Chains A and B, each alone.
Chain A
Amino acid sequence: MNVDWLMREWDMILDLFLRHLWLSVAPVAIGLGLALPIGWAVQRSGRWKGPILNLVGLLFTIPSLALFVLLPWFLGTQILDPLNVIVALTIYVLALLVRTVADGLDAVPRETLQAANAMGFRPLRRLLTIELPLAIPVIAGGLRVALVSNISIVSVAALVGTRQLGSLFTQGLQLQFLTPIIIGIVLSLLLAATLDALVLVLSRRMTPWERRNA
């Protein structure tokens, strides 16, 4: 480890870190916002549910580097545009979370729904105040997987030129210099662990009734 280099390049490293944070968190937020209504609709779709979920799952099969290359053509963006990365990762998040949301809503006990109906809950209020809160543990599980894997995928975008922590890896290889590579790996693990713990704590806070079973 070369500490001099670290001190000198600190501003650049911080800038790359913040870009990395933004590029990996924004798609999860957008993806969750889209996955909630889509997952709900899919869960209600009866016999179409299986085929739709399998089709959405196929989005996973596209390798990330391929997606970063093809999206500029579909979106009409420049290849360096960070928007490509955000859209690509949103697609992966959707592929994961639509299934998770549908599974989470499926796991709500039938008796609970019947009780809500009997108490006069209308469908929308039942969804928002009963079904979604009960589905939080399952959805949070999917969210954690999506976040952690996003942080790892974002670094691949350095190969097409989008700047974030992955740029430290390409720089390290060009200079045959280990310090930037190690710092890049450590920061990205740190980011993953922190965000993972954050989602875990938030979901525990939002579901106090789960604590008795723990």
Chain B
Amino acid sequence: MILFSWLLDPANWTGPYGALTLIWQHILYTLAAMAAAAVIAVPIGLYVGHTRRGELLIAGAANILRALPSLGLIVLLVILLGPVFTSDLAFLVPSLIVLVLLAVPPIMTGTYSGIANANRAAVDAARGMGFTPLQVLFRVELPCALPLIFSGMRGATLQVISTATIAAYVSLGGLGRLIIDGRAQNDYSQMAAGAILVGLLALCVDLAIELMAYLTVSRGLTRRETSRFPNIRRRSDPSSSPTVQRDVSP
């Protein structure tokens, strides 16, 4: 089987260019980009969602970034910034900038719409009980927004994993190396190995985030049956559970 022959050779798994190293590199790029993007996007989303200022700006920025071809952006930045840096930084910095840039809009939109769609009654009740605006934000709106924040994070992570693969074209490490090098050497089994591994990585990360959301989101929001009141049927009202358009372009 040409699909698995590269993967089944133990010699391909270890060493400085082995599959294990490449998987680890891919995870590191993803974590770094996601952390940086969350630090930028979550506060902006919280601010805009709470104050309702700059909603149009957020929507516009998200739209433009969705349409930007990521490959073009990476290549552009490598040529512009490449001469500024020496050694590996010449492609590492441009690639990471693009990864962060792509991860910001989904997280920002998710946070913003989660906060903006937080149950009005709960927010009013918290105000009535004398919560300060910050308390309302962090104790009521933020927990209500978690499902949408997580769904934004999922979209962003997929985007980052996918684009990090593409960045192998400008010499970034990670699993994209197998695809780009395999193409250059006309070695289909190596390309297939890269494709399979990066697909599996994306799937695992996606499921991990879903699990994290399942464990952290309040039961009052997910409407999972609690064992104490198994007979209570909650009125199902689809309009009250907001959904965001999941961001695509993997």
Q: Write the chain A residue with the least CB distance to B69.
A: A155
Given that A61-B250, A145-B245, A193-B67 are known contacts, is A66 also in contact with B199, CB under 8 Å in the complex? Answer: yes
Q: Determine which of A66, A148, A172 lies in contact with B194 in the assembled complex, contact meaning CB atoms within 8 Å.
A: A66
Contact B71 A92 (CB under 8 A): no
Chain B interface helix/strand/loop/mixed: helix
In the complex, the answer to whether B67 meets A169 with C-beta atoms within 8 Å is no
The one of B68, B170, B191, B250 that contacts A62, using a Cβ cutoff of 8 Å: B250
With contacts A66-B179, A103-B243, A159-B71 known, is A58 near B206, CB below 8 A? Answer: yes
Docked complex Cα distance between A92 and B158 (Å): 13
Determine, out of A4-12, A127-135, A182-190, the stretch whose residues face the partner at the interface.
Answer: A182-190
- A151 part of interface (Cβ distance < 8 Å): yes
- Give A92 to B249 CA distance when docked, in angstroms: 8
Docked-complex contact B72 and A178, CB < 8 angstroms:
no
For B202, the closest partner residue in chain A by CB is: A61
User: What number of B residues sit within 8 Å (CB to CB) of A?
Assistant: 47
Q: Which of B194-250 contact A (CB under 8 A)?
A: 194-196, 198-199, 202-203, 206, 238, 243, 245-250
Q: Are the C-beta atoms of B203 and A58 separated by less than 8 Å? A: yes
Q: What are 12 A-B residue pairs whose CB atoms fall within 8 Å in the complex? A: A60-B250, A61-B199, A63-B162, A63-B195, A159-B180, A165-B69, A178-B76, A181-B75, A181-B79, A184-B69, A188-B69, A196-B67
Q: Chain B, 145-183, contact with A by CB distance < 8 Å: what is the 0/1 string? A: 000000000000010011001100110000010011001
* CB within 8 Å for A155 and B196 given contacts A149-B249, A178-B76: no
Contact of B158 among A61, A151, A160, A176 (CB under 8 A): A61
Interface membership of B95, Cβ < 8 A: no
**14 extra interface residue pairs, beta carbon distance < 8 Å, beyond A63-B162, A79-B188, A184-B72:** A61-B206, A63-B165, A63-B250, A64-B250, A65-B165, A65-B198, A73-B2, A92-B250, A141-B245, A145-B66, A153-B250, A158-B71, A159-B71, A181-B72
Instruction: Looking at the assembled complex, report how far the CB atom of A188 sits from the nearest CB atom of chain B, in whole angstroms.
Output: 5
> What are the residues of chain A within 8 A of B161 when measuring CB–CB?
63
> In the complex, A181 Cα to B72 Cα: how many Å?
6
Q: Which residue of B lies closest to A74 (CB)?
A: B3
**Given A103-B243, A173-B79, are A63 and B199 also a contact pair (CB < 8 Å)?**
yes
Q: Flag whether B113 is at the interface (Cβ < 8 A).
A: no
Question: Which residues from A are CB-within-8-Å of B135?
Answer: none
CA distance A185 to B70 in the complex (A): 9
Contacts of A145 in B (CB 8 A): 66, 245, 247-248
Q: Interface digits, B1-37 against A, CB 8 Å rule (1 contact, 0 not)?
A: 0110000000000000000000000000000000000
CA distance A99 to B188 in the complex (A): 34
User: What is the CA–CA distance of A95 and B68 in the complex, to the nearest angstrom?
Assistant: 21
Given contacts A63-B165, A66-B196, A160-B183, are A188 and B248 in contact (CB under 8 A)? no
Given A63-B198, A141-B245, check contact A185 B191 (CB 8 Å): no
- A156-B166, A169-B71 are known contacts. Are A62 and B202 too (CB-CB below 8 A)? yes
Given the contacts A61-B158, A63-B250, A65-B162, A148 and B63 also touching, CB distance less than 8 Å:
yes
Closest-CB distance, B30 to chain A (whole angstroms): 11
Residue contact A166 to B249, C-beta cutoff 8 Å: no
With A61-B206, A172-B79 in contact, is A152–B67 under 8 Å at CB?
Answer: yes
